[in-house]
Amino acid sequence: MNTKVFSKKDLCEQNLKNIAGYLSESQVIAFPTETVYGLGAHMFKEEAIKKIYALKKRDKNKALIVHLGSIEDVKRVAIEIPNDFYTLASRFFPGPLTIILKKNPEISSLISSDSTIALRMPDNYYTQKLINLLGSPIVGTSANISNQKSPVSAKMVIDAFFNKIPAIIDTGECSLKIPSTIISLVDKPYKILRTGSISKDQIDKALKNS
């Protein structure tokens, strides 16, 4: 397989449509976010989801994250969505916050093997445009071999996956370079499972002011 690396100057709408075409054809691509680069697949293509696990050598019991193109996309993947989700999403999306909700039972167990689903909206113009051109959320995880350093540049992705995937979107180094904060809203009180650049104080303030 020949990998095409698309830099910013290459990311016209037609090329983004071509990359969306790879996703529609059950291929895996690498995409940038503000935190780290990810390996992504069409969330409704199980063949592609299996490829992510194989490429990464990832434990299949570890869930993937759903990357939304709009806040309203949440209704496609989650149920019993609490008001706190919309409060946090309106404040922090797009941005480095991953929110765990109850999973729509129609969502593949390959994405999450339990009754919950993790989702976020990445703060990268080209990735957002790709998701919306595709017309479906993208499922993904960091674009590295499991237990290796998370990639904050396209070069790190190229080193790991060149000629193993059809496309890598290169928009330069990630601005934050640390993974997103993860919060579970499945039960009350909410739980922060990982702290990133968004702090508990910021979350508390957003919820208090809602």
Domain boundaries, the chain: 4-208
Q: Give the mean model confidence (pLDDT) for residues 33-48.
A: 98
Average pLDDT of every residue of the chain:
97
CA angle 179–183–189, rounded 5-degree value: 160
Confidence of residue 155 (pLDDT cuts 50, 70, 90): very high
The whole-number average pLDDT for the span 27-50 is 98
Whether residue 210 has pLDDT greater than 90: no
Q: What is the pTM of this model?
A: 0.96
Q: What's the helix, strand, coil split of the chain in %, to 5?
A: 35, 20, 45
Check residue 209 and give its pLDDT.
82
**Domain 4-208 indexed as CATH 3.90.870.10:** yes
Q: Are strands 97-103 and 78-79 parallel, antiparallel or unpaired?
A: antiparallel
Alpha-carbon torsion angle 124, 127, 132, 138, nearest 10 = -120
CB half-sphere exposure, 57, CA atoms < 13 A: 7
